[in-house]
Structure 1
Amino acid sequence: MPPMPAVREHVDKMQTRQDKADKPMSAPQKAMRRLGLNSDMELALHLPLRYEDETTLTPIAELRDGDMAQAEGVVRESRVEVRARRQLIARIEDDAGHTLLLRFLNFYPSQQKLLSVGQRVRVRGEVRGGFLGREMVHPECKAVQAGAPLAQALTPVYPTTAGLPQAYLRKAVGRALDKLVLDETLPPQALQIWPGGPRVLADWPLHAALDYLHHPRPEVSLAALQDRSHPAWLRLKAEELLAQQLSQLQARQAQALRRAPTLALGQRGGEAKGLHEQLLAVLPFALTGAQRRVSEEIARDLARPSPMHRLLQGDVGSGKTVVAALAAAVCIDAGYQCVLMAPTEILASQHVKKLVDWLTPLGVRVAWLAGGQKTKERRETLEAIDRAPQEGGAQLIVGTHAVIQDKVRFHKLGLAIVDEQHRFGVAQRLALREKVMEGGDAVEGGAKQPVEPHMLMMSATPIPRTLAMSYYADLDVSTLDELPPGRSPIVTRVISEQRRPELIARIRAQLAEGRQVYWVCPLIEESEAVDLTNATATHAELTAALNDAPHAAPLPPEGASPALGRPGGGGGIQIGLLHSRLPAAEKQAVMAEFVAGRMGLLVSTTVIEVGVDVPNATLMVIEHAERFGLSQLHQLRGRVGRGAQASACVLLYSTGDAPRLGQTARERLKAMAETNDGFEIARRDLEIRGPGEFLGARQSGAALLRFADLATDGELLDWARQTAALMLAQHPVLAERHVARWLGGRVDYLKA
């Protein structure tokens, strides 16, 4: 019996793919693959960086110095001159008898052949007024026949890579556009609610918009193309935003169908207080109103049978850790395990210290898992994680990415907390979710269904509203918008490195008062590419400056143990060095000295960006602050101001022989000096740099938005949100087609 047509078609397609796979790829094909241009749709969406106007010819007599122009003529002279270096010199003459010199400082034999005497060529380049008359240096050249037609549209110039010529890429894009069939996926209702009126969408279907953006007419406003306000651009951005909103609503719907353990408050029963209430009773401080509100939101989510997928955002020092501890208490009280994953050992160890202090007295067994553990300790921890709590198993596991490794098997995982979630890759967060799904089966109607954990993701980088609407529409967002009482305001100063001696004197005074200081450097070693002082050199410089120069003996902070001196009882200042290449044990030892108050100054790279909590530290110095992102500067500043003493952050910028701060760096430093509000910092960061750092690894190198700009396309985003809800409710088939066209496999990023 012959195969069915659908089967035969599938076999034929598979054979074609195999044939293509067996055929060696050319250099341009390999280059296209590196750019991710593997389909007609990807090629169609590979839009030009700029355009060249090859639609007109300018007579040579009318060429002016500085013009970017196209001319045509016959080669009358062509020679190679040897001066300081070899040059190819050619002179062309147009039909009016005027001449133009062409100069090539680097050339190939093929160019010599193209510019042979008697050949008619069309050249395009910048006109210069030279000693020998008008000339072009390294113009684009091509052989033409007399009367050859001119281009009818602007010529696109595409983003490319080595081995992929523009001509090859233009042909590939043109073939893709010819083959591509793009049926309309927008329902009629979507046209009616368009903010600019239905004609914009109706007059510019997707295929027409793409055709136009690849080959715009010469009369088009280049400004409208560059600022993406042309109707063709609006259509493209609207479709992209719609695909993103659809995918996130689909992710939310799919999440609601999945199963998770029901972790309700008070599951112990009887009159005994639950772990959650016990923890509230022993905390050495009262919760803020925001902490109570957010904890209640999380508790309601945990009590539902579908998995929580919540983002907890809060400014530096807003108290996210205690909210996480309360959520963990609800989970543990219900008989399940909780895991907290942090991006660095320093941050994870800070969490462990607080959680052990709070929960161990209440009978909770806390386990620590990190990459630097000794074999025996690691084996014992793994056994405790895979053991039931009633048998002495771990109830709360804290660690780095080591918690998602293959050897880690949880006994009964109910809640996964990911701190600084944007610092983790998508694959890492998905791996944590898969760990949860090993935990058991829920039985409904006789059918088994995998159980997965509730997920709580935390971020100290507040997310602007437009970004939350766009990239986090699949999440519930809780916000800690209130700082605990007793936090001192942080004064931020921006100063030049030329005032470094004054700053060191200020540090000496702070140490003499018994306070502690951070000094943050951006590099560990010298770099030829980036002329920055490294942490090791800075540590040596400050050690010499603060211990060799006369100064008052340091006093211990009130209530602290030993004086801020060198080990062994000397009178000098103990100055620590911390960077990512130190062994884990050394990092922990350095931090332990600083936290205990025995170390006055800590010179560090950005490994202290998050999680370090030393109330006695009152001064933060960030060297080469112009090199840091705004969000990172705000995170670093948050390491001080954690006690009742007045605190300061000094942003030390480099000038060299003359000021060299760029506009973006100036805007960042100005924002830091003007506000301590993390939400305002986040808003300005989005304006300055776009969404990159807020999203972090959620994009995983494949941004869900390539064309829309959240800072300027708010109306389009509102339209996309309304249209997405309408399509999922009334046009689910169109919705599926739209998402598949735009996102393909990138929808998987939303699962994390």
Structure 2
Amino acid sequence: MTGAPAKTLTQQLEILQKVLRLERRKGFNDTAMSGGLEAFVRKSAEEAEQLGHGIEIFRELSLTLGDYAELPESVRPARVSEAERIIQTVPGVSPMDDDPAESASHQAVAPASPRKQAAPRRRPAVQLASLDDPISKIPGVGENREEQLRTLGVRTVREMLYFAPRRHEDYSRLSPISSVRYNAEYTVRGRITHIQEQSTRNNRRMITVTISDQSGSLPVIFFNHYVLKQLKQGQEIAVSGRIERQNSAPCLRNPEWEILEGESIHTGRLVPFYPLVRGLFQKQVRNLTRRTLDIARDHIVDPLPPHVRERHGLIDLGRSLEALHYPQNAEEFRAAKQRLAFDEFLVLQFGLLRRKVDWKRQEGQSFPADQEQIDFFTGSLPFRLTGAQQTALAEITADLATDEPMSRLLQGDVGSGKTVVAAIAAYTVVLNGAQVAILAPTEILAEQHAKTFGQIFRELPSDRRPVSALLTGSTPAGRRREIDEGLADGSIDILIGTHAILEEHVDFQQLGLAIIDEQHRFGVRQRARLRAKGLNPDILVMTATPIPRSLALVIHGDLDVSIIDELPPGRQSIVTARRSSPERAKVHEFIRDQVQEGRQAFIIYPLVEESDRLDVKAATNEAERLSTDVFPDLRVGLLHGRMKPSEKDDVMTRFRDHEIDILVATSVVEVGIDVPNATVMVIEGAERFGLSQLHQFRGRVGRGAAQSYCILLTSDDSEGRTSQKRLDAIVGTQDGFKLAEIDLELRGPGEFFGTRQSGIPELTFAGLTDMKTLNASRIEAQRFLDVDPELDLPEHNELKHAIQRFWIDGMGDLS
């Protein structure tokens, strides 16, 4: 007996395509295949390797799905879509239509008997006190189900109402059974004519339910025996799913189904698919959302007055929540999402604007500029301020001169000169006899600020030069005591440091200005603690990279904004190029040429040490290899985040003083290193960094008079669409504001800063590319503030509660 014929590459990929489709239908809970997707892809890859075909394509699929079981469910849909895209790049693989409405013209509406009119839903006899009642009040939610829902973030009836489906599948078109074709999605209805139970070769129980309509019959196969308790011969049911082949005939396997009585929620409509946890199934969640909507309907109070909804073309809240789960059509679903997005933006913007108003109402300090002294200071600088710097400085000094506390964001591109503007603002405050605190998120950045401020003030006469101090977690106890004394008696004018500044023992004689660098890395409590160290000191926030306007309104909507959108004269454009792994030797030759001309170079790696899971080069190993094998005659240094602060400082100093030719580093150099003689930035594994990081790395060179270069070295398997867009963008433009918009679009707000940072609200429905809704909600929030700042009017009561829930329960601060 001969074995089964070997599968072709096309057959292997089409099987995997079906598995991915099933995984999509099952809600991305890794149950499409026994053992999970990861094991199935690994087995397929091994089979392909044995057959000697498709090795590269399966390597890419393995990278995409290799860690699928460990991924959060929110990430899995994107990985499945990426795997489907990869499969479709192989010639000969049959496409699988996403939209059943467009799959084929033969899907005519069935001439079968018309659908029964759904009887009006009866509201279950459950008494709710409010929408904040526990979800266990809903029938069918016992202890186990309550625990499952809590894992999904659903604890109350309200949270169940707002539990958004991950997607909807369009099962709304009824088709006659005779019209079905393979590999397309259909919804058919018919009467059960036969039910058969049998065992498969691997001892699985298989139930075949045959349904018939006027045009023919269709076997529907289930592998979960519970359907035997629910389905009976003679029942009329609807089923929705992709038509597959069984014994050379069409069939459905494990489709969505429901008995036709009352309103359909599982078939024959736009059907919601929700995030799941183990032991929880789509049908159970749909039944629960349907039941919750029916029970809670009388408790849903719209926080938006009718005239506001009319002004913005918004549907009412009750209809929005119904359509979020069970829309009649795609247009109604879009209207629901628009309404809920508007609500999210509105409560966010109201809180931010009120915080801004409340802050400015407090008693502040006035620091008028001594123009003669400021002119003397700016005249001592080795450069002239750009027009954009002068404009930003004028806005800041105008704020400092008033007795209202300043709350301002200063943002600009890499190398635009934000620090010198902040230094002039600090000097203005010091000239008025007050003190300045400068907060940085890391020790390296704090140390860099200390050096930069020292250089900026260096040319001032000693009697006019501010006295500054550096305070970090590494500051010795003796020096800390000296700093405490200097702050208390006023002999220290400017304190630069990390979170150590926020410690209780750090007391200022008169804190007048707090400059916060990278505010998104400081939580709400830390910012409040800093403000408490003075009489409502002025606040100036700086960002390392430009922030898109939409994200700035969300994170910094309580701040006025100054923008430096002009680079200092003489800064050259940095030549940026992309190179692949086989060209690495040529890149090394180029580095050697630059070093021989007296220049220096950076080589950046994604990791500190080699990883078993990631096939990427790491800084420690590569630094040793480069110094031994590639550049044995050159001075190679190493810098990474696990080094002690003193070690980092030593390496940076040696590199700055040209005692190191090539600095091998991790992303620790993203900020904090200024070496004008460095002209080459090589980024290994460039596809693994975000756009803002890449732009920051590039900004480490091009700070001197010589032409500088940024080379993006990518691995052989970096052909994903998002990676391509990122790399194309960084090569195509050096405009940091434009790159920030692209980065936000590609990665979303949660990952914009590289890791999820405090200060970024969780927005379920609102998209930060939707500037129209964001601006409209901000204008409406200002109207509410103007008319009823405390929202004490009866018609604003529900909006007041919504804002309290978002800010106090969700964001944790409205002060």
TM-score, with normalisation over the residues of structure 1?
Answer: 0.80
User: Could you list the per-position Cα deviations for residues 604-652 of structure 1 after superposition, in whole angstroms to 9, with x for gaps in the alignment?
Assistant: 1111101211000001011111111111111111000001100010111
Contact 1:246/1:735 (8 A) holds in 2: no
CA, structure 1 residues 413+250, in 2 after alignment: closer, same or farther (shift >3 Å)? same
CA, structure 1 residues 164+475, in 2 after alignment: closer, same or farther (shift >3 Å)? farther
Residue 379 of structure 1, CA deviation: 4.1
Tell whether 2:193 aligns with 1:77.
no
> Equivalent of 1:434, from 516, 519, 529?
529
Tell whether 2:433 aligns with 1:335.
yes
| Mapping 1:571-590, distance limit 5 Å | 572-590=633-651
CA, structure 1 residues 517+27, in 2 after alignment: closer, same or farther (shift >3 Å)? farther
| CA–CA distance in structure 2, aligned partners of residues 40 and 16 of structure 1 | 6
Give 1:369's aligned amino acid: L
Instruction: Tell me the residue number matched to 2:719.
Output: 661
Instruction: Tell me the residue number matched to 1:377.
Output: 479
CA, structure 1 residues 99+212, in 2 after alignment: closer, same or farther (shift >3 Å)? closer
| CA–CA distance in structure 2, aligned partners of residues 328 and 471 of structure 1 | 24
| Mapping 1:606-625, distance limit 5 Å | 606-625=667-686
Residue 319 of structure 1, CA deviation: 1.0
| CA–CA distance in structure 2, aligned partners of residues 58 and 235 of structure 1 | 34
CA, structure 1 residues 743+696, in 2 after alignment: closer, same or farther (shift >3 Å)? farther
> Equivalent of 1:245, from 305, 324, 349?
349
| CA–CA distance in structure 2, aligned partners of residues 544 and 115 of structure 1 | 73
Instruction: Tell me the residue number matched to 1:206.
Output: 317
Moved more, 34-43 or 676-685: 34-43
Tell whether 2:679 aligns with 1:604.
no
Tell whether 2:534 aligns with 1:462.
no
| CA–CA distance in structure 2, aligned partners of residues 374 and 117 of structure 1 | 82
Residue 600 of structure 1, CA deviation: 0.6
| Mapping 1:102-181, distance limit 5 Å | 102=221, 104=223, 110=226, 124-131=240-247, 133-140=249-256, 144=259, 150-151=264-265, 154-162=270-278, 164-177=280-293, 178-179=295-296, 181=299
| CA–CA distance in structure 1, aligned partners of residues 302 and 571 of structure 2 | 56
> Equivalent of 1:670, from 728, 747, 766?
728
| CA–CA distance in structure 1, aligned partners of residues 468 and 205 of structure 2 | 75
> Equivalent of 2:802, from 723, 741, 744?
741
| CA–CA distance in structure 1, aligned partners of residues 477 and 389 of structure 2 | 39
Tell whether 2:492 aligns with 1:388.
no
CA, structure 1 residues 38+699, in 2 after alignment: closer, same or farther (shift >3 Å)? farther
User: Could you list the per-position Cα deviations for residues 435-491 of structure 1 after superposition, in whole angstroms to 9, with x for gaps in the alignment?
Assistant: 33243xxxxxxxxxxx22211110132233444455533211001122122222211
| CA–CA distance in structure 2, aligned partners of residues 49 and 413 of structure 1 | 49
Tell whether 2:449 aligns with 1:351.
yes
Instruction: Tell me the residue number matched to 1:299.
Output: 397
What is the aligned-residue identity percentage?
37
Q: Which runs of 5+ in 2 are unaligned?
A: 1-128
User: Could you list the per-position Cα deviations for residues 384-428 of structure 1 after superposition, in whole angstroms to 9, with x for gaps in the alignment?
Assistant: 44x211xx4x32111122222344333432211111223x1424x
Instruction: Tell me the residue number matched to 1:260.
Output: 364
Q: Which runs of 5+ in 1 are unaligned?
A: 1-11, 195-199, 268-272, 440-450, 549-571
SS at match of 1:483: coil
> Equivalent of 1:642, from 682, 703, 710?
703
CA, structure 1 residues 76+432, in 2 after alignment: closer, same or farther (shift >3 Å)? closer
| CA–CA distance in structure 1, aligned partners of residues 133 and 169 of structure 2 | 37
Give 1:684's aligned amino acid: I
SS at match of 2:620: helix
CA, structure 1 residues 484+696, in 2 after alignment: closer, same or farther (shift >3 Å)? same
Contact 2:344/2:763 (8 A) holds in 1: yes
| CA–CA distance in structure 1, aligned partners of residues 743 and 804 of structure 2 | 27
User: Could you list the per-position Cα deviations for residues 19-62 of structure 1 after superposition, in whole angstroms to 9, with x for gaps in the alignment?
Assistant: 99xxx983432343343323333322222122346667766554
Give 2:587's aligned amino acid: L
Residue 715 of structure 1, CA deviation: 3.3
Contact 1:520/1:622 (8 A) holds in 2: yes
Contact 1:45/1:210 (8 A) holds in 2: yes
Give 2:634's aligned amino acid: I
Instruction: Tell me the residue number matched to 1:495.
Output: 579
CA, structure 1 residues 295+56, in 2 after alignment: closer, same or farther (shift >3 Å)? closer
CA, structure 1 residues 675+263, in 2 after alignment: closer, same or farther (shift >3 Å)? same
Instruction: Tell me the residue number matched to 2:517.
Output: 419
Instruction: Tell me the residue number matched to 2:740.
Output: 682
User: Could you list the per-position Cα deviations for residues 571-628 of structure 1 after superposition, in whole angstroms to 9, with x for gaps in the alignment?
Assistant: x311111111111111111111111111011111111101211000001011111111
Instruction: Tell me the residue number matched to 1:557.
Output: none
Instruction: Tell me the residue number matched to 1:567.
Output: none
CA RMSD of aligned residues (A): 3.4
Instruction: Tell me the residue number matched to 2:98.
Output: none
Instruction: Tell me the residue number matched to 2:52.
Output: none
| Mapping 1:495-514, distance limit 5 Å | 495-514=579-598
Residue 336 of structure 1, CA deviation: 2.2
Greater relative contact order structure (CA < 8 Å, 6+ sep)? 1
SS at match of 1:510: helix
> Equivalent of 1:728, from 759, 777, 785?
785
Contact 1:699/1:749 (8 A) holds in 2: no
| CA–CA distance in structure 1, aligned partners of residues 687 and 662 of structure 2 | 22
Give 2:196's aligned amino acid: E
CA, structure 1 residues 117+384, in 2 after alignment: closer, same or farther (shift >3 Å)? farther
